[in-house]
Chain A
Amino acid sequence: MTLPVHRGTPPQTPSQTIGPFFAVGLIWPDGPEVVADGTPGAVWIGGQVLDGAGDPVPDALVETWQADGFGRCPTDAEGRWAIRTVKPGPLPAAGGGQAPHLDVSVFARGLLNRVVTRIYFPDEAEANAADPLLASVQDPAARARLVAVADGDRLRFDIHLQGERETPFLAV
């Protein structure tokens, strides 16, 4: 095999699906616990991952990123996932005046690359209204799907991979 010739920067490695058996290698017992129990402001955020037929996706992996924490949770048989975290602090102006949010990756069998979205917080109406990414989503219904919904003392965020209620996914 000849090695690819490239100038300057090496060519990127392509993505492949996580497949159905990632639990063999990617399960962290503490993955959903971004912050310890009892941390001030800690909240469970979760929901279902659903496919284009509205059926649960039982073999997805949801990961959340924020400046000081990483969460990872596989979906269960009903497509449910949840992580316990805290709302990130406000981002400095250099961050573009963004509202607090979590970055989210979803991996699954049938996804040849991850899909990426964001979770915004429902108690940040003013910051959300000024957020440049939210503002760039024209359809108000789609925009609303990027904001978690208060559900008792938890926050609910369903991820619809496809269809009428499709979650807006981001190009990164």
Chain B
Amino acid sequence: MSDTHPPLDYPDYRSTRLRHPLAPLVPLPERLTELTGPVLGEGRVGERDHDLTVQHAGEPLGERIVVTGRVLDGDGRPVPGSLVEVWQANAGGRYRHDGDRHPAPLDPNFSGAGRCLTDAEGRYRFVTVKPGAYPWKNHHNAWRPAHIHFSLFGRAFTQRLITQMYFPGDPLFAFDPILSSVPEAARERLVSRLDLDTTVPEWALGYRWDIVLRGRQATPLEDEEDDA
């Protein structure tokens, strides 16, 4: 059992029921480490893709924020030149997606998708609006805490990660089975922190969130999983 990742079988999150494998995972023989992968993202990122507030004729409604941090590998080294993709609900808690039936308004000035490449120090930076909480049908009166979805590649297949970033102090944390699926000691790693150095005075609050991918080996080093 990982002390970092959620189990695939997690009954409180109802959709896991028919979608988690029942058989034990097949261990990859240790010598079959996959050290390299294709370089992704070059040519996929437009100049304004990191700014979700300038993708339409007008500005989206909501609380403008800056979200920034570093992408690191399991040894604490920055991951430069790596594609970061984000998507999120608008300030009212509605995704621009046909499947989203939440009767909150769409914002014609907000698509909710962004991309960037990390710089030489592994830093990413997005400008966006704070997403709203929204209801879902997992159980009676179920609401997701505000979050931004993140997709990371790193440099190897073993480092691929899709996750969600949360905002500090959200009172919905305790009621959310998706965040609660993470082992308790690791949950705070998904919560950004308000950062006045990132905040742009008179303009936008800043949040910092560093992302740590696993090492590049297929088999975890012993102390890698012991940590934390």
Residues of A within 8 A of B (CB): 1, 4, 6-26, 28, 51-53, 55, 57, 59, 63, 65-70, 95-96, 98, 103, 105, 107-115, 132-133, 136-137, 142, 161-163, 166-172
Contacts and interface: CB of A to CB of B under 8 A. Distances in A.
A119 B10 CA distance: 27
B7 A112 contact: yes
A66 B156 CA distance: 10
Contacts of B29: 96, 132-133, 136
A11 B8 contact: no
Contacts of B96: 24
22 contacts: A1-B191, A6-B228, A10-B227, A12-B4, A14-B5, A16-B149, A17-B162, A25-B85, A55-B18, A66-B38, A96-B29, A110-B17, A111-B16, A112-B16, A133-B26, A162-B18, A162-B19, A168-B26, A170-B25, A171-B25, A171-B26, A172-B218
Contacts of A137: 26
B80 interface: no
Interface of B: 4-8, 10, 13, 15-23, 25-29, 31-32, 34, 36-38, 40, 44, 72, 74-76, 85-89, 95-97, 99-100, 111-115, 149, 151, 157-158, 160-164, 168, 178-179, 181-183, 186-191, 193, 210-215, 218, 223-224, 227-228
A112 B6 contact: yes
Contacts of A63: 160
A110 B189 CA distance: 21
Nearest to A55: B18
A87 to B, nearest CB: 16
Instruction: Give the interface centre of A13, A57, A66, A167 by most chain B CB atoms within 10 Å.
Output: A13
A65 B32 contact: no
A10 B212 contact: yes
Contacts, number: 221
Given A66-B38, A107-B162, 9 more contacts: A1-B168, A4-B189, A10-B227, A12-B74, A26-B85, A26-B87, A96-B29, A111-B8, A162-B21
A9 B224 contact: yes
Contacts of B40: 70
Instruction: Give the interface centre of A25, A109, A115, A170 by most chain B CB atoms within 10 Å.
Output: A25
A23 B100 CA distance: 12
A112 B162 contact: no
A67 B163 CA distance: 24
A13 B95 CA distance: 25
A1 B161 contact: no
Nearest to B164: A16
B37 A15 contact: no
